[in-house]
Amino acid sequence: AYDLVGERIERPSTSDAPDAKFGVFEESFVFDHLTGNVCLAVAPLIPEDDPEQIGAKAIDHLRDLELKEPEGGDLTPISFESDPAEPFEDAVLKAKEHILDGDIFQVVLSRRTRVRLGNPNPVLLYQRLREINPSPYTYIFEFGDEALVGASPETLFSLYDRVVTTNPIAGTCPRGGSPEEDELLASKMLEDEKERAEHVMLVDLGRNDVRSVSRAGSIRVEDFMAVLRYSHVQHIETTVRGTLRDECDPFDAARAIFPAGTLSGAPKIRAMEIIDDLEGTGRGIYGGGVGYFSADGSADFAITIRSVVMKGDIAVVQAGAGIVADSDPHKEYLETERKMAAMKRALGVEL
């Protein structure tokens, strides 16, 4: 959860979300959506003497596997309520005062939409999000009457073969009605001094985070200011990589990079304090991370954005906008609306 930042700032707000939920998984079913095949990977926590016994157990489990259609409702929305524009825009003005006073350079403020569902169905929501907003990270986690469903475009951090990677996303514009309009809108975004300055600032922040756990001279910036397109928005993205120092492990990388600068601001600690003051309540899982640590030393976490938190019949969607000195409060409000659009559409809310 984003609220783990409470360990690093004074007087943190809290939410009813746990700081973290982890599981240890000995068996994993892997579905190949292209071929329709499924395999079972077994990684025993305590190695057994007979590898053939492990294989036989896996085969038995596969034979017992029964795929079922998801049960439940149809995600009928009964009502929805969004945080109003005025308080958010007032918070943007207060954030700009902090920027002009020299407290920070940039800060990310967020707002929520709450949807009451007649027939909650996390699996159906997951399927809809995959169709509406295909993204690098698509996930569903169910815990009793709670669920987290998301389609995140952004890597918090990954670690493979000792290479740490993060990909800051900063800079947003809407999709067009045609490829030509997409290109025009993207070009205007790339030429916008505000968008460029904000992106460069957050790439520098990501580079400093990665550098803190990487070997000297190993930092690389790749695909600088590339434009990637999603269902409702286009983003500017950059990739930052570094080689993990010998004395560091995946948990050190997570501590160095969490929370993402693109969900907090710069400088990070002061931005988090201002977020806590202006938002007035804990963010819960929004802006945190979802992913895994593997026994082989690898790790991969997405930033928990473009996600829906479901509890009982209530679904909560949250999105933020990066505030800088020349931000227009109403335009930042509209940016949060665009970022929430795919999730609201998946929930059946008419836009």
Taking only the tens place, the pLDDT of each residue in 151-162 is 999 999 999 999
Per-domain boundaries in the chain: 2-28+69-346
d(CA 332, CA 96): 12
Residue 196 predicted with pLDDT over 70: yes
d(CA 289, CA 20): 9
pLDDT: is 124 or 46 the higher one?
124
Taking only the tens place, the pLDDT of each residue in 266-287 is 999 999 999 999 998 889 999 9
Taking only the tens place, the pLDDT of each residue in 173-194 is 999 999 999 999 999 999 999 8
Catalytic position from the list 113, 165, 243, 262: 262
- Range 86-101 average pLDDT: 97
Model pLDDT, residue 42: 76
Model pLDDT, residue 62: 72
**Among 251, 224, 244, 88, which Cα is nearest to 169's?**
224
Instruction: Fill in the DSSP letter of residue 4.
Output: G
Model pLDDT, residue 15: 67
* Phi-psi category of residue 138: left, alpha or beta, with phi > 0 → left and psi -120 to 50 → alpha: beta
- Range 246-273 average pLDDT: 95
Residue 248 predicted with pLDDT over 80: yes
- In this structure, whether the domain defined by 2-28+69-346 belongs to CATH 3.40.640.10 is answered with no
Side-chain half-sphere exposure of 50, counting CA atoms within 13 A: 5
Taking only the tens place, the pLDDT of each residue in 107-149 is 999 999 999 998 889 999 999 999 999 899 999 999 888 999 9
Mark whether 306 is an active-site residue.
Answer: yes
Mark whether 232 is an active-site residue.
Answer: no
The burial of 280, by beta-carbon neighbours within 10 Å (0-12 exposed, 13-18 middle, 19 or more buried), is given as exposed
Catalytic position from the list 286, 287, 304, 333: 286
Catalytic position from the list 150, 261, 287, 322: 322
pTM for the predicted model, two decimal places? 0.89
Mark whether 322 is an active-site residue.
Answer: yes
Model pLDDT, residue 1: 87
- Range 235-257 average pLDDT: 96
Contact 286, 303 (CB under 8 A): no
Neighbours of 141 (CB within 10 A): 15
Catalytic position from the list 128, 207, 235, 241: 235
Model pLDDT, residue 55: 73
Provide, rounded to the nearest whole percent, the portion of the chain with pLDDT above 90: 70
Model pLDDT, residue 112: 96
Taking only the tens place, the pLDDT of each residue in 285-344 is 999 999 999 988 999 999 999 999 999 999 999 999 999 999 999 999 999 999 999 999
Model pLDDT, residue 103: 96
Taking only the tens place, the pLDDT of each residue in 199-224 is 999 999 999 999 999 999 999 999 99
Taking only the tens place, the pLDDT of each residue in 59-73 is 777 777 666 666 656
